[in-house]
């Protein structure tokens, strides 16, 4: 397992933590001010909830939304592929990546990895990175308490760590949604939250041209692109949209002179 990190609360979390005893003291000293104390506590909760519903926010803790500066200087870009492995789509994605000699980062769902171990082994054997995308990928993940969050993430971590000499070092929340309990859990498990700079919405939009346009608009070094091999929408021909989009996307990356790399927390 990866060594734990130290959890450091962000200014927003510290403020929210301080508002609670502050409101209590205010009500004890001046009971008439209870409506203001209640408003202050509600605003703190509202701010925390809004930060958790914004996938690229750093208000609740560290969050990779782009590659580090040195990687940007080298002209690197990261392709991240979520929600697999999928027995129909993942093998075709792996073949396409081989054809372009590109390495990607697969954020796999633990439950699916346990159901398709040969596919996960193939992802690792072909040189791609394997990262943690929760065990059950529950849509209400952002409503979990700390214990349930830790159980789900560490179960996925144990499942995925069997396949690679390097256990996962990044976590991506289901749909990118989270709450303030996530960062202390990730710190204890030695994981870092990773989101993205561009996504194609390829789980709900099968229009390949639009998905491609979202991913390639202002394509630049440091971009972390999000696609899906699991839960992929179908294009007009009934093909999983990632399979239609990947070849022109990889061509655009090459034309822009960018080098696809896997996510690496040691990246200087
Ligand atoms: Zn997902």
Mapped to the 3 state alphabet, what secondary structure does 164-220 carry?
CCCCCCEECCHHHCCCCCHHHHHHHHCCEEECCCEECCCCCCCCHHHHHHHHHCCCC
Residue 268 has pLDDT above 60, yes or no: no
CA–CA dist 204, 195 (Å, integer): 18
CA–CA dist 26, 33 (Å, integer): 7
Specify the pLDDT at position 118: 97
Residue from 82, 83, 152, 223 carrying the catalytic annotation: 82
Active site residue 228: yes
Same domain, 107 and 235: yes
State which residues form the domain around 236: 69-261
Specify the pLDDT at position 267: 61
* Centre of ligand 1 from the C-alpha of residue 172, in Å: 8
Q: In 10 A of CB 140, how many CB atoms?
A: 8
- pTM score of the predicted model: 0.93
* Centre of ligand 1 from the C-alpha of residue 2, in Å: 22
Active site residue 82: yes
Same domain, 132 and 157: yes
Average pLDDT over residues 232-242: 95
Residue 74 has pLDDT above 70, yes or no: yes
| pLDDT tens for each residue of 119-129 | 999 999 999 99
Q: Is the residue at 60 inside a domain?
A: no
Same domain, 47 and 176: no
- Which residues place a Cβ less than 5 A from the ion ligand 1? 82-83
Average pLDDT over residues 14-30: 89
* Centre of ligand 1 from the C-alpha of residue 9, in Å: 26
Same domain, 41 and 73: no
Residue from 83, 137, 228, 235 carrying the catalytic annotation: 228
* Centre of ligand 1 from the C-alpha of residue 136, in Å: 10
CA–CA dist 143, 262 (Å, integer): 30
Q: Is the residue at 215 inside a domain?
A: yes
Total domain count for the chain? 2
CATH assignment of the domain containing 141: 3.20.20.370
Q: Is there a contact between 172 and 107 (Cβ–Cβ < 8 Å)?
A: yes
* Centre of ligand 1 from the C-alpha of residue 138, in Å: 9
Same domain, 88 and 17: no
| pLDDT tens for each residue of 138-193 | 999 999 999 999 999 999 999 999 998 889 999 999 999 999 999 999 999 999 99
């Amino acid at each position: 397992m990866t060594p734990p990190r130290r959890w450091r609360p962000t200014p927003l979390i510290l403020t929210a933590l301080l508002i609670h005893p502050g409101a209590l003291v205010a009500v004890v000293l001046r009971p008439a001010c209870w409506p203001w104390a209640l408003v202050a506590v509600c605003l703190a909760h509202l701010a925390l909830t809004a930060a958790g519903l914004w996938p690229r926010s750093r208000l609740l803790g560290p969050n990779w939304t782009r590659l580090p500066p040195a990687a940007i200087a080298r002209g690197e870009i990261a392709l991240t592929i979520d929600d697999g492995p999928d027995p129909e789509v993942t093998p075709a994605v792996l073949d396409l990546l081989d054809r372009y000699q590109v390495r990607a980062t697969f954020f796999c769902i633990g439950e699916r990895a346990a159901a398709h171990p040969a596919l996960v082994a193939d992802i690792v054997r072909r040189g791609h990175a394997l990262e943690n995308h929760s065990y059950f990928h529950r849509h209400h993940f952002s409503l979990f308490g700390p214990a349930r969050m830790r159980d789900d993430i560490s179960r996925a971590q144990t499942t995925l760590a069997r396949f690679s000499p390097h256990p996962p070092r990044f976590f991506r929340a289901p749909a990118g949604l989270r709450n303030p309990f996530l960062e202390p859990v990730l710190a204890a498990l030695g994981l870092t939250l990773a989101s993205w700079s561009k996504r194609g919405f390829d789980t709900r939009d099968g229009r390949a041209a639009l998905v491609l346009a979202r991913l390639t608009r202002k394509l630049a070094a440091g971009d972390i692109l999000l696609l899906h091999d699991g839960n992929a929408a179908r294009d007009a021909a009934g093909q999983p949209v990632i399979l239609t989009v990947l070849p022109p996307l990889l061509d655009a990356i090459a034309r822009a002179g960018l080098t696809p790399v896997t996510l690496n927390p040691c990246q200087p």
